Chain A
Amino acid sequence: MFWALAALVLIAPALVATEFKPWTLFEPDALKSTRRFIADFFPPKIEGEFLLLVLRECWRTVAIATAGMALALLIAIPLTLLSTSVLSVSALTGRMHALPFVFRQGVRGLLILLRSVPELVWALVFVRVVGLGPTAGVLAIALTYGGMLGKVYGEILESDDPNATHALLRNGAGRLQAFFYALLPQSAAELTSYTVYRWECAIRSSAVLGFVGAGGLGQQMDNSMKMFQGAEVATMLIVFMLLVGLADYASAWLRKVLA
Chain B
Amino acid sequence: MKPQLPTPVMPAANEAYLLPRKLFDARCAACWFLLGLAAMTVASFWTLDLQWAKFISVDAARKMGRFMAELMAPTGETVFLRRLGIAALETIAMSALGTLLAAIAGLALALPASRVHTGDRALARTPTRLLLNGLRSIPELVWAALLIIAAGLGPFAGTLALALHTTGVLGRLFAEAIENAPPGPAFALRVQGVPEGRVFLYATLPQILPQLMSYTLYRWENNIRAAAVLGVVGGGGLGQMLAFHMGLFHMRETSSILIAMILLVAMVDFASYLSRRILQR
Where the two chains meet, the residues of A that have a C-beta atom closer than 8 Å to any C-beta of B are 11, 13-15, 17-21, 24-25, 30, 33-34, 37, 59-60, 62-64, 66-67, 69-70, 116-118, 120-121, 124-125, 128-131, 133-135, 138-139, 185, 204-205, 207-208, 211-212, 215, 218, 221-222, 225, 228, 233, 237, 240-241, 244-245, 254, 257-258
**Nearest CB in chain B: distance from A88 CB, A:** 24
Nearest 3 pairs of A and B residues by beta carbon: A63-B44, A17-B93, A14-B93
| Given known contacts A63-B48, A129-B64, A244 and B137 CB-to-CB distance under 8 angstroms | yes
Whether B138 pairs with A241 at a CB distance below 8 angstroms is yes
Whether B156 pairs with A21 at a CB distance below 8 angstroms is yes
Where the two chains meet, the residues of B that have a C-beta atom closer than 8 Å to any C-beta of A are 20, 29-30, 33, 37, 40-41, 43-45, 47-52, 54-55, 60, 63-64, 67, 89-90, 93-94, 96-97, 100, 134, 137-139, 141-142, 145-146, 149-152, 154-156, 158-159, 225, 228-229, 232-233, 236, 239, 242-243, 246, 258, 261-262, 265-266, 269
Closest to B145 in A: A225
Whether B261 pairs with A135 at a CB distance below 8 angstroms is no
**Nearest CB in chain B: distance from A156 CB, A:** 18
When chains A and B are docked, how far (Å) is the Cα of A67 from the Cα of B52?
Answer: 13
Provide a sorted-by-A list of 6 A–B residue pairs whose CB atoms are within 8 angstroms: A11-B100, A67-B44, A69-B41, A118-B261, A135-B50, A211-B142
When chains A and B are docked, how far (Å) is the Cα of A135 from the Cα of B265?
Answer: 26
Whether B261 pairs with A121 at a CB distance below 8 angstroms is yes
**Nearest CB in chain B: distance from A182 CB, A:** 13
A139 surroundings in chain B (CB, below 8 A): 55
When chains A and B are docked, how far (Å) is the Cα of A145 from the Cα of B156?
Answer: 30
Question: What 6 additional pairs, Cβ within 8 angstroms, besides A121-B229, A207-B142, A208-B142?
Answer: A117-B261, A121-B261, A130-B60, A221-B145, A228-B149, A258-B30
Whether B50 pairs with A13 at a CB distance below 8 angstroms is no
When chains A and B are docked, how far (Å) is the Cα of A67 from the Cα of B41?
Answer: 6
**Nearest CB in chain A: distance from B265 CB, A:** 5
**Nearest CB in chain A: distance from B230 CB, A:** 9
Whether B54 pairs with A130 at a CB distance below 8 angstroms is yes
A245 surroundings in chain B (CB, below 8 A): 137
When chains A and B are docked, how far (Å) is the Cα of A217 from the Cα of B246?
Answer: 23
Whether B156 pairs with A20 at a CB distance below 8 angstroms is yes
Whether B30 pairs with A116 at a CB distance below 8 angstroms is no
Whether B60 pairs with A129 at a CB distance below 8 angstroms is yes
Closest to B54 in A: A130
B156 surroundings in chain A (CB, below 8 A): 18-21, 24
Closest to B249 in A: A128
Whether B150 pairs with A25 at a CB distance below 8 angstroms is yes
Whether B149 pairs with A33 at a CB distance below 8 angstroms is yes
When chains A and B are docked, how far (Å) is the Cα of A65 from the Cα of B256?
Answer: 29
**Counting chain B CB atoms within 10 Å of each CB, which of A17, A237, A245 scores highest?**
A17
**Counting chain A CB atoms within 10 Å of each CB, which of B44, B146, B236, B265 scores highest?**
B44
Whether B138 pairs with A124 at a CB distance below 8 angstroms is no
B246 surroundings in chain A (CB, below 8 A): 124, 128
B33 surroundings in chain A (CB, below 8 A): 254, 257
Whether B137 pairs with A14 at a CB distance below 8 angstroms is no
Whether A135 pairs with B229 at a CB distance below 8 angstroms is no
Whether A66 pairs with B149 at a CB distance below 8 angstroms is no
**Nearest CB in chain A: distance from B216 CB, A:** 14
B49 surroundings in chain A (CB, below 8 A): 133-134
A17 CB contact (under 8 Å) in B60, B90, B229, B258: B90
B37 surroundings in chain A (CB, below 8 A): 66
Whether B40 pairs with A66 at a CB distance below 8 angstroms is yes
